[in-house]
Amino acid sequence: DIVMTQSPDSLAVSLGERATINCKSSQSVLYSSNNKNYLAWYQQKPGQPPKLLIYWASTRESGVPDRFSGSGSGTDFTLTISSLQAEDVAVYYCQQFHSIPPVTFGGGTKVEIK
Amino acid sequence: EVQLVQSGAEVKKPGESLRISCKASGYSFISYWIGWVRQMPGKGLEWMGTIYPGDSDTRYSPSFQGQVTISADKSIGTAYLQWGSLKASDTAMYYCARPNHYGSAREPFDVWGQGTMVTVSS
């Protein structure tokens, strides 16, 4: 199985400041035949199902604000919230879908307001 | 509108059986894989397995193989997650989810059900 490791477990950021979440996979999730990284990011607010934010490591899902961006390739990835808003308080998960079964998720990063 | 609507919360005793459902609408049910994801109280997301309703091809996570059964009834556009004998450790929220592209399981989930809370307690 591909193990996904997120850091930090939690972070507190002031409104309007940048939040950065890291995700590392135990094996590369880059598929050489199409040069795509099979890596997604989700946001989960309390009492709600997860919401897809980013896929192919850097493609923003339709309707997702452009303050959310993804970067990285191979085994190291980052989700950045450029200017944290109150509505961004949530837990964020990375997910690899390169090697299934199983799909695997990171342990989650809780983002709060400082 | 593409939707996945899950069955309601369940409270069961250890050893009982259970089947929860996920009804799809707004798209071609047989053309998209459907996955199941577990979230234990206060914990992260765990992928359990997935099924392709078109031909019932099913893949399980090794962690859940033999513990649950995933099935689908394409005549009514519904996927199922089933336990033969529940344990207290099965207490969790269960989500069904659909990938964002037809025909492939190697896609992210862009449509999620609202979740079904299963509580197993004596």
Q: Measure Cα distances from B103 to A19, A31, B3, B57 in Å.
A: 35, 18, 18, 11
pLDDT in tens, A85-95: 999 999 999 99
- Mean residue pLDDT of chain B comes to 97
**What's the whole-number mean pLDDT along residues B11-23?**
98
Residue B110, pLDDT above cutoff 90: yes
Q: Which residues of B touch A109 (CB under 8 A)?
A: none
Contact state of A104 with B115 under an 8 Å Cβ cutoff: no
| C-alpha to C-alpha distance for B119 and B90, rounded to whole angstroms | 7
Residue B30, pLDDT above cutoff 90: yes
Contact state of A108 with B44 under an 8 Å Cβ cutoff: yes
pLDDT in tens, A42-82: 999 999 999 999 999 999 999 999 999 999 999 999 999 99
* Cis peptide, bond prior to residue B53, ω within 30 of zero: no
Q: What is the pLDDT of residue B102?
A: 84
* Cis peptide, bond prior to residue A101, ω within 30 of zero: yes
B105 part of contact set with chain A, CB < 8 Å: yes
On the CB side of A25, CA atoms within 13 Å amount to 28
> Chain B: nearest CA to A1, how far in angstroms?
9
Q: What is the pLDDT of residue B103?
A: 85
Q: Measure Cα distances from A103 to B10, B18, B84 in Å.
A: 26, 24, 24
